[in-house]
Amino acid sequence: MAADMDASSVLDVRNLAVSFRTDRGEVPAVHDVSFTVKPGETLALVGESGSGKSVTSLAVMRLTPPAPQASLTGSILFRGRDGQVRDLATLAEHEMQAMRGNEISMIFQEPMTSLNPVHRIGDQIAEAVRYHRKVDRQAALDRAEELLVLVGIPEPRKRLKSYPHHLSGGMRQRVMIAMALACDPSVLIADEPTTALDVTVQAQILELLKELQERTGMAVVFITHNLGVVAEIADRVMVMYAGRIVERGGVVPLLKHPLMPYTHGLLRSVPRLELAAFGQAKLEAIRGNVPDPTRMPQGCSFHPRCDHAELGRCDRTIPILEEAEADHLVRCHRWRAIASVEA
């Protein structure tokens, strides 16, 4: 079953669906998500709150709560260092533990919560190294120092002895990246790693990630809500809305000529430096609110906010994700009509 994975990709997610059990019944968070990532490639997962982008990334790491609190279906094919393809969705927990932080790593938005405040930085990185590799303490500490150099932390030897609270937000994120890279993973999942940082520090971290990717050839799945960051870092983009992929494609076609009205609206609602309207002109906002997961609209989940919605169609059936151009998929009943008029 796992053998038919595309030889050029390292991660191949197929029909992933996740739902959570709550007081108010079964709440689906992610439906029918499929994507592939190639080595050296950055796939950006874009979406707002409730879009399912974070749940998707957690599911790939198998970090969603175990059944029965959450259910996970579909397959997550991953090509290991040994060339063998495994389905992470069905892997036993102890096998998954051997993968996590080793062949597939993750960094989070708030590094402070992922670092243990009572242990030195050096020990924490060394611990991450020793968890997966049988090396002695000194070798692990040497590796930790090497990693700190790699992520551009000044005075790495001194920093090994620092505690997380001695470091600034940007430095902590660098330490998290160092830990994630400890075992040279082939896939790095970055969940909003720059959202909590200042723009000048964000620019540094993005630059660092690009540089590291060039050097190691790892694939990056970058989760963000910031389209500017997407333009900066991504090769391909996947836009999610209300738990579904609504558009997927290369970064240039997707940001330059979006097909899904949601992507289009999102792009227009971002204030831009070069279009700064000192006259205080209105931004083109998308009306309405992000839908509540327990009360999804019928049909296309974006239709209540969409200017192009067609009564009787968009509010009835969920559109399929169809290929509009080569490697450019869109989930919209009316993309042809919209595209022809805009052209």
Residue choice 163, 204, 216, 322 for contact with other proteins (CB under 8 A): 204
Minimum gap (Å) between residue 126 Cβ and other proteins: 25
- By the rule CB under 8 A, 205 interacts with other proteins: no
Q: What is the DSSP string of 92-110?
A: -HHHHHHHBTTTEEEE-S-
Measure the CA–CA gap between 266 and 260, rounded to whole angstroms: 10
- By the rule CB under 8 A, 337 interacts with other proteins: yes
Report helix, strand or coil for 178: helix
Which of positions 275-294 make contact with other proteins (CB under 8 A)? 276-278, 280-290, 292, 294
- By the rule CB under 8 A, 210 interacts with other proteins: no
Give the chain's count of helices (H) and strands (E): 12, 12
| Shorter beta-carbon distance to other proteins: residue 13 or 238 | 238
- By the rule CB under 8 A, 232 interacts with other proteins: yes
Q: What is the DSSP string of 41-54?
A: -EEEEE--TTSSHH
* Number of residues that make up the chain: 343
Residue choice 5, 30, 33, 171 for contact with other proteins (CB under 8 A): 171
Measure the CA–CA gap between 145 and 142, rounded to whole angstroms: 5
Minimum gap (Å) between residue 289 Cβ and other proteins: 4
- By the rule CB under 8 A, 69 interacts with other proteins: no
| Shorter beta-carbon distance to other proteins: residue 47 or 122 | 47
Beta-carbon neighbour count of residue 47 at 10 Å?
Answer: 25
Distance between start and end Cα atoms, the chain? 43
Measure the CA–CA gap between 10 and 19, rounded to whole angstroms: 25
Residue choice 252, 317, 320, 327 for contact with other proteins (CB under 8 A): 252
- By the rule CB under 8 A, 26 interacts with other proteins: no
Residues forming a β-bridge with 12:
36, 77
Minimum gap (Å) between residue 90 Cβ and other proteins: 29
In 187-280, which ranges are E strands? 187-191, 219-224, 236-241, 244-250
Minimum gap (Å) between residue 282 Cβ and other proteins: 5
State the burial class of residue 97 (Cβ atoms within 10 Å of its Cβ: 0-12, 13-18, 19+).
Answer: middle
| Shorter beta-carbon distance to other proteins: residue 95 or 292 | 292
CA 29 to chain centre: 15
Measure the CA–CA gap between 224 and 97, rounded to whole angstroms: 26
Residue choice 6, 26, 327, 342 for contact with other proteins (CB under 8 A): 342
Residue choice 1, 67, 118, 341 for contact with other proteins (CB under 8 A): 341
Residue choice 265, 324, 329, 330 for contact with other proteins (CB under 8 A): 265
Q: What is the DSSP string of 269-333?
A: HS--GGG--TTTPPP-PPPS-PPPTTSPPSSSTTGGG-TT--TTTTTTSPPPEEEEETTEEEE-T
| Shorter beta-carbon distance to other proteins: residue 69 or 294 | 294
Minimum gap (Å) between residue 159 Cβ and other proteins: 13
| Shorter beta-carbon distance to other proteins: residue 331 or 334 | 334
- By the rule CB under 8 A, 149 interacts with other proteins: no
Candidates 31-39, 52-60, 92-100, 309-317; binding stretch for other proteins (CB under 8 A): 309-317
Residue choice 71, 80, 308, 322 for contact with other proteins (CB under 8 A): 308
| Shorter beta-carbon distance to other proteins: residue 252 or 320 | 252
